[in-house]
A and B are shown apart, each in its own frame.
Chain A
């Protein structure tokens, strides 16, 4: 079946630094990748959608200069949280889909803690 690998699974960083999270589709080509954020006991909130080779489309209220998304290949998308602050601490999850893999396969998530 379709597998999406997300790294790191957890990261702790100091306030003001940047953190990069990788999302890879291992056995299929992901034309579209999605990035979500999840707070404790809350559901997944879509942050942005990225298509390979195109600029990401951000949801309303999401700062595109703070959450940089790159989707340079059909198997890799990255989310960089720039100048992280404690309020950016959250669980970030990626998802990938493709025309053949209709459906949405999720990564295992990244727990970001900013201290």
Chain B
């Protein structure tokens, strides 16, 4: 059974204080690892897809990396608008299995 574990559950940052979120996974035949952002009361918003170990992708203050067992989402110099829950999901066949998410709060 596919398993996705995200840590920490919650992260409180001061504006400009960089940090990293972790997503550990166990899956048979990874087809892709996805990162989403979810705001309260909204559906997930796509951020990145990573396909193979060593791959990295960047978007503004966010950078996602992938190894054979885990993925990291690095937030560089965060701003209050980066406050959200960040979800990690793995695709083994045609469907996604999600982690519980990391809720990030950035204080001005």
Contact = CB atoms under 8 A, between A and B. Distances in A.
Interface size grouping (class) on chain B: 10 to 19
The majority secondary structure among interface residues of chain A is strand
A34 B99 contact: no
Given A46-B96, A49-B94, A106 B41 contact: no
A42 B100 contact: yes
A108 B101 contact: no
B95 A44 contact: no
Contacts of B94: 32, 49
Interface residues of A, number: 21
A58 interface: no
Interface of A: 4, 6, 32, 34, 42-46, 49, 91, 93, 95, 103-109, 111
Interface of B: 34, 36, 41-46, 49, 87, 89, 94-101
**Which 3 A-B pairs rank lowest in CB-CB distance, beginning with the nearest?**
A106-B43, A43-B98, A43-B100
